[in-house]
Amino acid sequence: EDKVVQSPLSLVVHEGDTVTLNCSYEVTNFRSLLWYKQEKKAPTFLFMLTSSGIEKKSGRLSSILDKKELFSILNITATQTGDSAVYLCAVGDAGTALIFGKGTTLSVSS
């Protein structure tokens, strides 16, 4: 059965800390891995990764994919209170749909 597992389930850090969120997956026909941020409303798109070893960056956020070991990480440096959210990892299985993990809840305290 296809599955996406995120860890940790929740995390509390102080402003300025760096955090690493993990996503491992087992899918039949991998197509892509996506990261979303959800703050009490619709998930907003962060990154889409399809190739191993190529880092995607957007400001303080970055992500990388390892297709051999079947995982991805999302890094957030110099965290701010506005980074508090649920971070969702989803894997596209060719011919079907996105399979989402349960998410990591990040709380950043000031």
What does the block give as tokens for 6? 């995120």
Query: How far apart are the C-alpha atoms of 87 and 96, rounded to whole Å?
Result: 22
Tell me whether residue 76 or residue 90 sits nearer to other proteins (CB atom): 90
Tell me whether residue 17 or residue 93 sits nearer to other proteins (CB atom): 93
Tell me whether residue 48 or residue 73 sits nearer to other proteins (CB atom): 48
Q: Does 50 bind other proteins (CB under 8 A)?
A: no
Is the peptide bond between 8 and the residue preceding it cis, with omega within 30 degrees of 0?
yes
Q: Does 90 bind other proteins (CB under 8 A)?
A: yes
Q: Does 5 bind other proteins (CB under 8 A)?
A: no
Site residues for other proteins per CB under 8 A = 31-32, 34, 36, 41-45, 48, 88, 90, 92-103
